[in-house]
Structure 1
Amino acid sequence: MGSDAGNQLGKLPPQAVEMEEAVLGALMLEKDALTAVIDILKPENFYKDAHQEIYKAIVTLFNNSEPIDLLTVSNQLKKDGKLELVGGAYYITQLTTRVNSAANIEYHARIITERAIKRDLIKISSEVQRDAFEDTTDAFSLLDHVAQEIYDVSESNIRKNFADMKSLMHEALLELEARKNHSDGLTGIPSGFTALDRLTSGWQRSDLVIIAARPGMGKTAFVVSALRNAAVDFNHAVAIFSLEMSAVQLVNRLISAEAELESEKIKKGNLADYEWEQLLHKTSKLTKAPIFIDDTPGLSILELRAKCRRLKSQHDIQLVVIDYLQLMSGDSSKSGGGGGNREQEIASISRALKTIAKELSIPVIALSQLSRAVETRGGDKRPQLSDLRESGSIEQDADMVMFLYRPEYYGITEDENGMPTQGTGEVIIAKHRNGSLDNVNLKFIGKYTKFADLDMGSGGEGYGSFGSTGIPSEFDSGNTVTFGSKINNPGSDESSSDPSSTTPEDGPAPF
């Protein structure tokens, strides 16, 4: 019986008209009341059109630094030709009688906003239902459109509030105290490269890091090495979105580097019995590592954002890598179905990557291609910021821009100091928002597709100044190859007994 009565009454959209009247009345009673709600309430949050017009008039007066009261609001509405539309001066007078003070205005404003969000969601879901029944609708375009609409509702209504200096100082001091307890100097997610971590203190949370190079310089090899170090040596959950290589190809690279078996042998499966044993033994830690690989081709920024949020909530990922930026697609709903300017699309992608880094409080590393201007330039062909392809916004949005440079790729056999360049790579920090600019030299082992610290002589620590605190003892003993850190101590038992674990001949093979 009760349900029949409910069906006869029908449904009303979510609303709080009485709250709207109370808020508008309070705004006209107390001159400072608007400052408490102006960042919460927008005109479209009001259910009644009349209330929207009254609130617009109040905001106009506020922007013009004029007093807000019964008379000024009525006068503003009269100037706008909206006074009769809202019910005349009598209705505005009635609003001020509905409330005694602005004491609860912020609470009332939040309820109005919540009702508006619900109305927006009902509108979106109605449109989805309508479009989903249409045979001509592309399901994936609709899915992308819905995700963007819901995200826009979330972004426009849920904003982080400001923080006072007292609470910020307390937070900053707690961070400083935590850093003081890190004797190794690492405050972010370690890359596993001693000199680089000393310079950057690790990949910092909320940072967007761009690693750029020409094809063949070893971008993927470098980032996979750093990713593996963070996951295996330091047990940080990491995710890589590989748009260029399949997940299995990426895992084969990890296996090759971890077991120190040539990538060609891994690809062909041409392994001797002892090499199989070596592979199984040395990759046991890799098997348990918290590494998540997504090889979805043509990944859109909306898909990336959704997947990163899911990985953060389910696995608490601490680092995200995108390989590589130019293979991503932007928001098709904003670029007119893909007909937009590519430079604008790349700009929107780089901005979105920075937003993800900040929202999830994790470092986001995006690989990027450099333009051919590097090849046509004379001299040593070192890359520079102007070589970043397709958009200057990549440089603007990034907190750190790093270039990978291998002189031997261009046939340069000696550096400016007369040192041989074979088997070496250089990380050039061209932009560092929160630190200094410098170059870091690393070893490039082409046959194992990995980067490592340059040898520091026999008997040296496996991880330089961070070795004593950062890496568990089994990684520092010389009995296990630490991928991305110093390779095996030539004097260890394993390196002398196993022919494949000796220091390799560094090949210049491009990867």
Structure 2
Amino acid sequence: METNTKNSRRKAHSNNFIPTANEYGKLPPQAVELEEDVLGAIMLEKDAYSIVSDILRPECFYKDTHVKIFTAIVDLAIKQEPIDMHTVTEQLRKNGQLDEVGGAYYITMLTAKVASAAHIEFHARIIAQKYLARELIRVSSEIQSKAFDERTDVDDLMQEAEGMLFKVSQQNVKKDVVQINPVIDEAIKRIQAAANRPEGLSGVQTGFHALDKVTSGWQRSDLIIIAARPAMGKTAFVLSMTKNMAVDYNTPVAMFSLEMSNVQLVNRLLMNVCEIEGEKIKNGQLAPYEWEQLDYRLKKLIDAPIYLDDTPSLSVFELRTKARRLVKEHNVKILLIDYLQLMNASGMNFGSREQEVSMISRSLKGLAKELDIPIIALSQLNRSVEGRAGNEGKRPQLSDLRESGAIEQDADMVCFIHRPEYYKITEDAQGNSLLGIAEIIIAKHRNGATDDVQLRFKGQYAKFMNRDDEEQDEYKGFVSKISNEDSFNQQAAPAMPDFPTPPPFLSGSGNDVPF
């Protein structure tokens, strides 16, 4: 045993022995010979660079010399100059890097090694995969190092790790070009599906008929921004939609609330559905008929396909993971986020909050396309609205979107909520009453017309309704049977009626979220 060890040591020190990576350690994933082949092929054939330009970047190359050579090639491509052995050599000379890469001799040697660019795309993809493997090793090593540091906050580290992995995964998200025929087939299927629906809508119904008429429902893969100043009713609007979609049309809906807890959201839903004032919902001081009303109408919400998540300071990376599971496991058809400015992109460095919000809005649009469902994100408006006079002056504009112009650019649709009554404006220019009226202003519509839609707003119940909705409810007949008005004003707390078994989100601490 000892003799074998000595022999192996002598062999290791002999001039003819080259240790392998497996004997003394591990080499990072690399394909240096393929890098040489790709660089040589690019300089050998005219159109070779266009084949690999969307696959490779300078940092994809393992050897530093090759990084500098490919950078020179990119510089030439940007200037739309020919790419060959001589132009690359001259560009390296201009960059002051010719001697660093081994001079003109090394460039000549690269072109001499290859005969054609026949397999350049295949080789380029191998180089890109090796680069991604090295990036994963780098990220995992950095995370491991920080995890061993006892001063590191684990929650912060998890956020940072998600951000770093997200950046790596985004580099590998590429869709191949497709011929138009299968796309036409899919478009025809969607048109036929819309034609077969009695309401004739192609998207997710909101329950607001005038709005659905303009939008044809919220469309798949769209990012919709709904913005307003505080107290305009953003949350009330999406909760009214949630009730319509989930209860009336049985459409699975997921809502991510960064501002309110799950219990607060459900309380708002109870106000909306049961038409009981919020103060009474909070303090429990309900009259006997209101307990009956709560019991009767609560049945609408039980077993409704509504999924709530109240994770505070939700990151766009967490949202992406949860959204994928929701679509896969619960067939969720639409995501609601309340609200965009409370999200973050932890684990990534930005020069300003505007840049971070821009990254979040781009990620939401990318997620909507990936999952092929509409995503609605609420957004705040800046204070410039308050400084303008008159009803027209108070109407929001696209320039009022807060923190980032990228929100306007990334969104397929931007809607504003405007309630003139809030600004003590009770009549329009024609003398029509604006009391209880809310305007949904469609300011941007990438795939359709812009328009204004009027809804009714019941402030005491935080409820949006169609303007022509009749006050029809089975419970009204039930209430009419109660003739003794004095019983409505009883001071003693009534006995609780027998409620049906509550759904998971009404029991416990409000943390029973299906993720």
**TM-score normalised per structure 1:** 0.79
Task: Select the residue among 402, 410, 432 that pairs with 1:389.
Answer: 402
Asked if residue 356 in structure 1 is aligned to residue 337 in structure 2, the reply is no
63-72 or 377-386, larger mean C-alpha shift: 63-72
TM-fit CA distance, 1:333? 3.8
Cα distance in 2 for residues equivalent to 1:376 and 1:90: 69
Contact 2:164/2:348 (<8 A) preserved: no
In structure 2, relative to structure 1, the CA distance for the partners of 1:384 and 1:495 (3 Å cut) is same
59-68 or 283-292, larger mean C-alpha shift: 59-68
Structure 1 unaligned blocks of 5 or more: 457-485, 502-511
Cα distance in 1 for residues equivalent to 2:354 and 2:200: 38
Asked if residue 369 in structure 1 is aligned to residue 380 in structure 2, the reply is yes
**Aligned residue type for 1:497:** F
1:181-196 to structure 2, matched below 5 A, reads 181-196=196-211
Task: Select the residue among 436, 444, 447 that pairs with 1:431.
Answer: 444
Q: Which residue number in structure 2 is paired with residue 108 of structure 1?
A: 123
TM-fit CA distance, 1:229? 1.6
Cα distance in 2 for residues equivalent to 1:215 and 1:85: 60
In structure 2, relative to structure 1, the CA distance for the partners of 1:56 and 1:390 (3 Å cut) is closer
TM-fit CA distance, 1:348? 4.0
Cα distance in 2 for residues equivalent to 1:393 and 1:22: 41
Cα distance in 2 for residues equivalent to 1:26 and 1:343: 42
Cα distance in 1 for residues equivalent to 2:386 and 2:78: 54
Cα distance in 2 for residues equivalent to 1:105 and 1:194: 55
**Aligned residue type for 2:119:** N
TM-fit CA distance, 1:192? 0.9
Cα distance in 1 for residues equivalent to 2:203 and 2:171: 31
Contact 1:404/1:427 (<8 A) preserved: yes
TM-fit CA distance, 1:108? 1.6
**Aligned residue type for 2:68:** E
Q: Which residue number in structure 2 is paired with residue 496 of structure 1?
A: 477
Asked if residue 34 in structure 1 is aligned to residue 59 in structure 2, the reply is no
- Percent sequence identity is 55
TM-fit CA distance, 1:247? 0.8
Contact 1:185/1:198 (<8 A) preserved: no
In structure 2, relative to structure 1, the CA distance for the partners of 1:167 and 1:81 (3 Å cut) is farther
Give the match's secondary structure for 1:287.
coil
Contact 1:196/1:440 (<8 A) preserved: yes
Q: Which residue number in structure 1 is paired with residue 38 of structure 2?
A: 23
Q: Which residue number in structure 2 is paired with residue 455 of structure 1?
A: 468
TM-fit CA distance, 1:16? 1.9
Cα distance in 1 for residues equivalent to 2:21 and 2:364: 48
Q: Which residue number in structure 2 is paired with residue 211 of structure 1?
A: 226
Task: Select the residue among 404, 409, 412 that pairs with 2:417.
Answer: 404
Could you report, residue by residue, the CA deviation over 1:151-203 in whole angstroms, capped at 9, with x for unpaired residues? 22222343334444555445444444444444523111111111110111111
Contact 1:58/1:68 (<8 A) preserved: yes
Q: Which residue number in structure 1 is paired with residue 158 of structure 2?
A: 143
Structure 2 unaligned blocks of 5 or more: 2-7, 9-19, 483-515
Cα distance in 2 for residues equivalent to 1:180 and 1:191: 18
TM-fit CA distance, 1:299? 2.9
Contact 2:232/2:417 (<8 A) preserved: yes
Cα distance in 2 for residues equivalent to 1:33 and 1:256: 64
Contact 1:319/1:364 (<8 A) preserved: yes
Give the match's secondary structure for 2:160.
helix
Q: Which residue number in structure 1 is paired with residue 326 of structure 2?
A: 311
Cα distance in 1 for residues equivalent to 2:102 and 2:209: 72
In structure 2, relative to structure 1, the CA distance for the partners of 1:16 and 1:344 (3 Å cut) is closer
1:226-237 to structure 2, matched below 5 A, reads 226-237=241-252
Contact 1:260/1:500 (<8 A) preserved: no
Contact 2:293/2:475 (<8 A) preserved: no
Contact 2:40/2:112 (<8 A) preserved: yes
TM-fit CA distance, 1:364? 2.2
Cα distance in 1 for residues equivalent to 2:414 and 2:77: 43
1:230-249 to structure 2, matched below 5 A, reads 230-249=245-264
Give the match's secondary structure for 1:286.
coil
**TM-score normalised per structure 2:** 0.79
Cα distance in 2 for residues equivalent to 1:211 and 1:63: 39
In structure 2, relative to structure 1, the CA distance for the partners of 1:498 and 1:137 (3 Å cut) is same
TM-fit CA distance, 1:436? 1.9
Contact 1:190/1:203 (<8 A) preserved: yes
Asked if residue 446 in structure 1 is aligned to residue 446 in structure 2, the reply is no
TM-fit CA distance, 1:251? 0.6
Give the match's secondary structure for 2:301.
helix
1:130-169 to structure 2, matched below 5 A, reads 130-166=145-181, 168-169=183-184
TM-fit CA distance, 1:81? 5.3
323-332 or 419-428, larger mean C-alpha shift: 323-332
TM-fit CA distance, 1:402? 2.0
**Aligned residue type for 2:61:** F
1:54-73 to structure 2, matched below 5 A, reads 54-70=69-85, 72-73=87-88
**Aligned residue type for 1:286:** L
User: Rg bigger for which structure?
Assistant: 2
Contact 1:188/1:205 (<8 A) preserved: yes
TM-fit CA distance, 1:345? 4.3
In structure 2, relative to structure 1, the CA distance for the partners of 1:283 and 1:50 (3 Å cut) is same
**Aligned residue type for 2:379:** S
Cα distance in 2 for residues equivalent to 1:306 and 1:197: 30
Contact 1:232/1:286 (<8 A) preserved: yes
Could you report, residue by residue, the CA deviation over 1:412-463 in whole angstroms, capped at 9, with x for unpaired residues? 444444443333322222232322222222222233321111235xxxxxxx
TM-fit CA distance, 1:137? 2.5
Task: Select the residue among 105, 111, 127 that pairs with 2:142.
Answer: 127
Cα distance in 2 for residues equivalent to 1:372 and 1:92: 60
Could you report, residue by residue, the CA deviation over 1:65-106 in whole angstroms, capped at 9, with x for unpaired residues? 444445554555456554554455555455445544322221
TM-fit CA distance, 1:115? 0.8
**Aligned residue type for 1:208:** L
Contact 2:166/2:317 (<8 A) preserved: no
In structure 2, relative to structure 1, the CA distance for the partners of 1:430 and 1:77 (3 Å cut) is closer
In structure 2, relative to structure 1, the CA distance for the partners of 1:11 and 1:249 (3 Å cut) is same
TM-fit CA distance, 1:32? 1.7
**Aligned residue type for 2:66:** H
Q: Which residue number in structure 1 is paired with residue 217 of structure 2?
A: 202
